């Protein structure tokens, strides 16, 4: 049967089955509550234009948002908008994604009340429509990605690239489970843009010119940095001065078509400017406020290799794309300059953003929309691999390992629970890599990278023991103590307990306590920190801490400890204390103990 069906078509349907299964069966986000729902966090920020304009008729004051937030808890409060000096609220994100959501929103709005749901923009029909619409857009983008690759690679290579991208990279996450994020939609826009560009230069027409303009404009008002999309239609196919001159002549001779393209793109961009003028009285507004770029230097090393959100750490398959993109110069010289320049510029812009980890990103989600370009690098790499049998024996198993790791990370980001967005550390990542059992003790490595691995402790010496039964400071509470008659209650800072540790000593310090949080604090940044600090002349030499509420499921008492290696640097004070950075929960501490050991 495979003799009659192209292998790339079989690969496409295998990829489609995986995307559908992940989105519909494995983790249907439209069924999830609160901040796990489809329309939550960043997605809700992009989406607010639609209910604001079409249901509540209020895009300036957002008076309806408070009730929606109280009912659906999409998070993070009014973090999706800011109050302009004019007194009006301006939405943080541009409107391109909302325009793409519009058909799915309209369908849900028509069906919500007949199906017995409130037509409020956030009930189940809206969640499902945006999820399913995003899935269909992913399948469309993948189809045109295949069509583009088939212009330059054999059917077999195209099938391998499709499998690598979908099964082996974080595209799986952002095209299926969290497909309502912009990256999936932009992937589709870029696939269509490259396809339209190829068609335009093959058969120039006003239709293709208009479509290219619309796609560039749409990408720009989805994420403003995607204005670099204009590089693709202008420079595609240029690889020498002679082709550059020929392209310039062509553009001049095609001036009416180029003008139409610019008008179409400009019309879409004008919609964003018009919204800013309407909401704030100004034509141009920087709506991201205190979030900005660090152009010199960018965070390239972090973006590529950090445990927190490194692109090649969580999608190692794309290392083949990075290698392959340098092979394009020989393999496909006509597209190499455009693909290479665009990919490097996109990487630079992604790395320059101050919040380079991009929230709870599984790897670098901001790289996903550029995969239609990086796919050329993958294609060139697998052409090279196919040239020698030994290369197949080496790299095919490596690709299999990359696929396994990607599927494993995708599972751990959801039902598995071992991936903790925004907070991953190298020590924790290496501790849990490849495992499926959840050992809560490992969560300490999200806060401290140190772990005693020496087996049995030797020369253990207790230097602090406090059960708070005798309290002369007023910090202890007799109301519902953990044990005995009193426990220490944490409000903001606890007293600092000075430890008799001498500078120059070698070994480890273990701090332990029993705590209870009633109720559990779920926001990581609000969790109470258990801190040990070494200082010299008031200057911190070394500090380690763990967040206590990571280690409980509810309000059950829990005994915890963490180890810190004594620093080689000189110090004159060692303190241990607790800090509540803003939680309203009641947290009690008991049986505080500190030991030195080797």
Q: 150-162, pLDDT tens digit by residue?
A: 999 999 999 999 9
Structure tokens at 36: 């796990």
For range 334-340, the mean pLDDT: 98
Span 248-272, pLDDT tens digits: 999 999 999 999 999 999 999 999 9
Q: Is the CATH number 3.40.50.10140 carried by domain 461-597?
A: no
Say what the pLDDT of residue 327 is.
Answer: 97
For range 509-533, the mean pLDDT: 95
Is the per-residue pLDDT at 587 higher than 70? yes
Specify whether the CB–CB gap between 490 and 473 falls below 8 A.
no
For range 502-530, the mean pLDDT: 95
Share of the chain above pLDDT 70, in %: 98
Share of the chain above pLDDT 90, in %: 94
Question: Which residue, 471, 553, 548, 476, is CA-closest to 514?
Answer: 548
Is the per-residue pLDDT at 456 higher than 90? yes
Structure tokens at 54: 């079409």
Span 31-88, pLDDT tens digits: 999 999 999 999 999 999 999 999 999 999 999 999 999 999 997 666 789 999 999 9
Is the per-residue pLDDT at 349 higher than 90? yes
Q: Where are the alpha helices (DSSP H) in 21-154?
A: 41-47, 49-50, 65-72, 96-112, 124-150
- 525-544 in b/e form (b: 16+ CB < 10 A) is eebbbbbbbbeeeeeebbeb
Is the per-residue pLDDT at 322 higher than 50? yes
Say what the pLDDT of residue 479 is.
Answer: 81
Confidence of residue 3 (pLDDT cuts 50, 70, 90): low
d(C-alpha 46, C-alpha 66), whole Å: 17
Q: Where in the chain is the domain with CATH 2.60.120.260?
A: 461-597
Reduced to 3 states (helix: H, G, I; strand: E, B; else coil), residue 36 is: helix
Span 113-134, pLDDT tens digits: 999 999 999 999 999 999 999 9
Q: Which residues pair with 540 in a beta bridge?
A: 535
Say what the pLDDT of residue 77 is.
Answer: 60
What value does the mean pLDDT of the chain take? 96
**Rounded to whole angstroms, what are the CA distances from 367 to 35, 84, 143, 304?**
23, 31, 19, 10
CA 340, 341, 346, 347 dihedral sign is positive
Taking the CB of residue 376, how many other CB atoms lie within 10 A of it?
28
Specify whether the CB–CB gap between 346 and 370 falls below 8 A.
yes
d(C-alpha 378, C-alpha 373), whole Å: 9
Span 136-180, pLDDT tens digits: 999 999 999 999 999 999 999 999 999 999 999 999 999 999 999
279 DSSP assignment: H
DSSP 369-397: GGHHHHHHHHHHHHHHHHT-HHHHHHHHH
Reduced to 3 states (helix: H, G, I; strand: E, B; else coil), residue 336 is: helix
Span 384-399, pLDDT tens digits: 999 999 999 999 999 9
d(C-alpha 391, C-alpha 396), whole Å: 8
Is the per-residue pLDDT at 1 higher than 60? no
Say what the pLDDT of residue 477 is.
Answer: 76
- 181-215 in b/e form (b: 16+ CB < 10 A) is bbbbbbbbbbbbbbbbbbbbeeeeeeebbbbbbbb
For range 192-205, the mean pLDDT: 98
């Amino acid at each position: 049967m495979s003799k009659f069906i192209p292998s790339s078509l079989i690969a496409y349907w295998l990829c489609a089955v995986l995307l559908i299964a992940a989105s519909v069966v494995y983790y249907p986000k439209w069924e999830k509550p609160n901040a796990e729902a489809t329309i939550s966090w960043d997605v809700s920020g992009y989406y607010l234009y639609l209910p604001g304009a079409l249901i509540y008729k209020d895009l300036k004051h957002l008076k309806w948002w408070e009730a929606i937030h109280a009912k659906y808890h999409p998070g993070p409060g009014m973090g999706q908008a800011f109050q302009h000096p004019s007194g009006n609220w301006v939405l943080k994100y541009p409107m391109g994604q909302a325009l793409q959501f519009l058909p799915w929103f309209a369908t849900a709005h028509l069906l919500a009340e007949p199906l017995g749901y409130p037509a409020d923009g956030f009930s189940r029909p809206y969640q499902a429509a945006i999820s399913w619409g995003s899935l269909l857009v992913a399948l469309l983008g993948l189809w045109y990605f295949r069509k583009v690759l088939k212009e330059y690679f054999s059917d077999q290579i195209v099938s391998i690239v499709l499998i690598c991208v979908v099964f082996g990279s974080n595209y799986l996450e952002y095209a299926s489970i969290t497909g309502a994020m912009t990256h999936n939609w932009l992937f589709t826009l870029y696939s269509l843009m490259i396809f339209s560009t190829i068609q335009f230069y093959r058969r120039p027409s006003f239709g293709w010119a208009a479509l290219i303009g619309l796609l560039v404009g749409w990408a720009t008002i989805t994420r403003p940095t995607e204005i670099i999309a204009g590089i693709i239609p202008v420079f595609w196919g240029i690889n020498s001065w002679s082709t550059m001159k020929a392209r310039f002549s062509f553009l001049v001779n095609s001036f009416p078509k180029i003008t139409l393209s610019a008008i179409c793109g400009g019309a879409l961009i004008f919609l964003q400017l018009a919204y800013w003028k309407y909401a704030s009285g100004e034509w141009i507004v920087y709506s991201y406020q205190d979030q900005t770029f660090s152009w010199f230097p960018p965070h390239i090393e972090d973006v590529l290799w950090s445990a927190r959100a490194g692109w090649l750490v969580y999608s190692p398959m794309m290392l083949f794309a990075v290698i392959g993109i340098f092979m394009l110069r020989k393999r496909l010289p006509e597209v190499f300059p455009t693909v290479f320049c665009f990919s490097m510029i996109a990487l630079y812009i992604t790395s320059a953003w101050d919040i380079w980890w991009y929230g709870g990103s599984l790897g670098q989600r901001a790289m996903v929309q550029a995969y239609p370009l990086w796919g050329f690098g993958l294609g060139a790499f697998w052409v090279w691999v196919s040239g020698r049998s030994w290369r197949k024996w080496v790299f095919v198993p490596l690709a299999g390992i990359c696929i396994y790791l990607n599927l494993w990370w995708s599972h751990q980001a959801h039902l598995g629970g071992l991936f903790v967005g925004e907070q991953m550390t190298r020590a924790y990542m290496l501790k849990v890599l490849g495992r499926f059992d959840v050992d809560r003790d490992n969560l300490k490595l999200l806060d401290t990278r140190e772990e005693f691995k020496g087996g049995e402790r030797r020369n253990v010496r207790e230097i602090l023991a406090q059960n708070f039964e005798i309290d002369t400071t007023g910090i202890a509470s007799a109301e519902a103590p953990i044990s005995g008659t009193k426990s220490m209650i944490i409000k903001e800072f606890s007293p600092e307990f000075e430890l008799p540790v001498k500078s120059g000593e070698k070994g480890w310090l273990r701090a332990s306590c029993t705590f209870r949080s009633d109720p559990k604090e779920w926001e990581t940044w609000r969790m109470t920190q258990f801190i040990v600090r070494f200082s010299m002349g008031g200057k911190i030499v070394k500090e380690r801490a763990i967040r206590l509420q990571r280690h409980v499921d509810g309000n059950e008492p829990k005994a915890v400890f963490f180890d810190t290696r004594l620093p080689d640097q000189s110090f004159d004070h060692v303190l241990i204390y607790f800090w509540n950075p803003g939680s309203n929960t009641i947290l009690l501490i008991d049986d505080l103990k500190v030991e030195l050991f080797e």
